[in-house]
Amino acid sequence: MKFALQATLSFGLLALCLATSPVRWCTTSAEEQAKCTKLQQQCFGPQQSKDLPAFSCVRKTDPHDCIRAIKDTEADAFSIDGGLIFDASLMPYNLKPVVAEVYASGSGETIASYYAVAVVKKGKVSSLSDLRGKKSCHTGFGKSAGWNGPIGILLLKRLIEWAGAEIEPLEKAVARFFSAACVPGVKNEPDLCRLCKGKCDWNDPYAGYSGALECLLNGGGDVAFVKDATVLALSPEERSKLELLCDDDTKKPIEEYRNCFLARMSAHAVVARSVDGRADEIWALLSYALEQSSKHGQQACQLFGSPQGSPKDLLFKDSAVNLIKIPDLVDAFIYLGSQYYSAIQNLRRETPIADPTATEKIVLCAVGYVAVAVAKKKDVDITWNTLNGKKSCHTGVDRTAGWIVPMGLICGATNCSCKFDKFFSESCAPGSPPDSSFCKLCKGSGGEGGLSQKYKCKPNSNEIYNGYNGCFRCLLEAGDVAFVKHTTITDNTEGQNKPAWAGSYTPNDFVLLNVNGERCQYNEHERCGLANVPTHGVVTRPEIASRVRNVLLKQQIKFGSHGTDKDAFQMFHSDAKDSLFKDGTACLATPKEKTYQEYLGEQYMNSLEGFKKCLTSELLKACNFITDNL
């Protein structure tokens, strides 16, 4: 009893400590620590709402030290640029962006992105190709606008010659290209520190956006790699003495940065741990500070801007005007975008990446199936137009033939409110909430005991009505209509191995329901199907699509259904059902369609359009965030 009481008290104290521990902001300089402390005292002092966590500041030596501190729970958050977001997302850190900075664009809009630009003095450099042997100014090693963007472009254009990290560090190749540089934070490459005014560390006077520009203007540099806001902040007279280098080897005035940039980058973002990262608490504090700043001015809660005479961009970029919460599902890859993420990976590759070409002959497969609505022939009153109030069987929630296609068509035709449980009287749609009408027809494992109830309506094989065959069984035993694929009827009613539950049924005992109200023969799916649906497909990023395709097609030659080494390994068969590929896969084929809309087809896209307003996908929220803000 005593032990139990002590344990209870101990856990209670632990919970209390965790609940009241402050959100710790990581700083990397004395000036940042001073601003953070002022923010703690003036904005997050005793006067703040008791519903908010406390706020404190933790001093570390540099951004990578902060990343380690957050991983080790010595700190909780700080704001960094895209290159560091990439670093922070890797093992063993596993941090993720949780809040994005927002900037004012030249047109007055606010956006969570910026343009990386190459700035030169007028008449001094003719093009990007003319940069060899020049002196360069960078915001910092591994930074988006100051390193990853421009160096990635110069590598892509083959202006910088590099054999890969296995042969030599990238920094050495860059040092050969420029005659001198200032790259704050770089290690073991003196030529990349020759232009720096201080120690070539993260606090060098030429570090950051304003530092890199100062390096160009007064430090002997020929080019500065910064962002659009850095040069737009200059006076018209100062801007008139500068120009931009475009990636097509032309030049343009500063004001035309939208048509002359190296890359468009996602905004700096606050990062936190992916697990137990306190993202909601971090956002609660920052949104409180924004609210107080809006009400009482920057003197109350100065998140943005730096004191006169101090270094720029303390805690947040000086050009930031707002913050926006990033959806939970957005990780570093989604936030940075596939192109930029891949560009950083290419900067760090071990060896140059060849693009293999498959020269072997590949046997192409027919792809796709038809989603159909099936009813028993004897139920003559059931048509597509009389389904309201009937009992329905579905392969599973969010499954294509069993859910998205039929529910999308129903929703589009009836202008539904997404309350599908009001359309059918009873259903089995595995994956639905257990207490909903969409689980009433489900049977679990099929028995009468508690174990059967435990598995009822689960979206797996423990529910006997799950999947195509289970859905068809539901029609035979309990339902009025089943939404399956066109082969399901014959799969279960023909041949020597048809299941016992199918009894004496034959294909002719069933009809297909056409959306025009017609009842069709079981084999008229081409005319009476709900939608042509493509098979499962491999998806990847555009910039590596050909590489992935070639690797898979080559592996299929060895390990496919008719592969030369299929006895050693089989791509399309597994002990666990549908591992990597569907077990029924015959082969992989290159689709003729080039876009996802073409691949999915007009019928499927129409049903999806009708269903779109009912989707609650976290991934959709993440994609909308990227589309709307970056």
Residues in the annotated binding site for Fe(3+)? 81, 114, 209, 268, 369, 468, 536
Rounded distance, CA 562 to CA 539, Å? 24
CA distances from 62 to 26, 84, 140, 488 (A): 10, 11, 12, 61
Half-sphere exposure of 469 (CA within 13 A, CB side): 13
Contacts of 161 (CB under 8 A, 6+ apart): 173, 176, 177
Q: State the Cα torsion 488-493-499-503 to the nearest 10°.
A: 130
State the DSSP code for 43.
Answer: T
Rounded distance, CA 170 to CA 191, Å? 13
Residue type at 581 in one-letter notation: F
Contacts of 458 (CB under 8 A, 6+ apart): 430, 431, 444, 466
State the DSSP code for 455.
Answer: T
Rounded distance, CA 437 to CA 448, Å? 20
Rounded distance, CA 177 to CA 39, Å? 44
**What percent of the residues of the chain are helix, what percent strand, and what percent coil, each to the nearest 5?**
40, 15, 45
Half-sphere exposure of 297 (CA within 13 A, CB side): 1
Cis peptide before 92 (omega within 30 of 0): yes
Question: Three-state DSSP class for 392?
Answer: strand
Contacts of 590 (CB under 8 A, 6+ apart): 362, 364, 549, 553
Rounded distance, CA 52 to CA 184, Å? 37
Which residues are documented as binding site for hydrogencarbonate? 139, 143, 145-146, 395, 399, 401-402
Given a contact cutoff of 8 angstroms between Cβ atoms, the answer to whether 25 and 58 are in contact is yes
Contacts of 418 (CB under 8 A, 6+ apart): 411, 613, 614
Query: Using a CB cutoff of 8 Å and minimum separation of 24, what contacts does 519-525 make?
Result: 519/375, 519/383, 522/374, 522/489, 522/490, 525/370, 525/372, 525/486
Q: Which residue has the tokens 């997050």?
A: 44
Buried b (16+ CB within 10 A) or exposed e, 596-617: eeebbbebbbebbebbeeeeee
Rounded distance, CA 476 to CA 456, Å? 18
Which residues are documented as binding site? 81, 114, 139, 143, 145-146, 209, 268, 369, 395, 399, 401-402, 468, 536
CA distances from 90 to 274, 327, 432 (A): 11, 20, 35
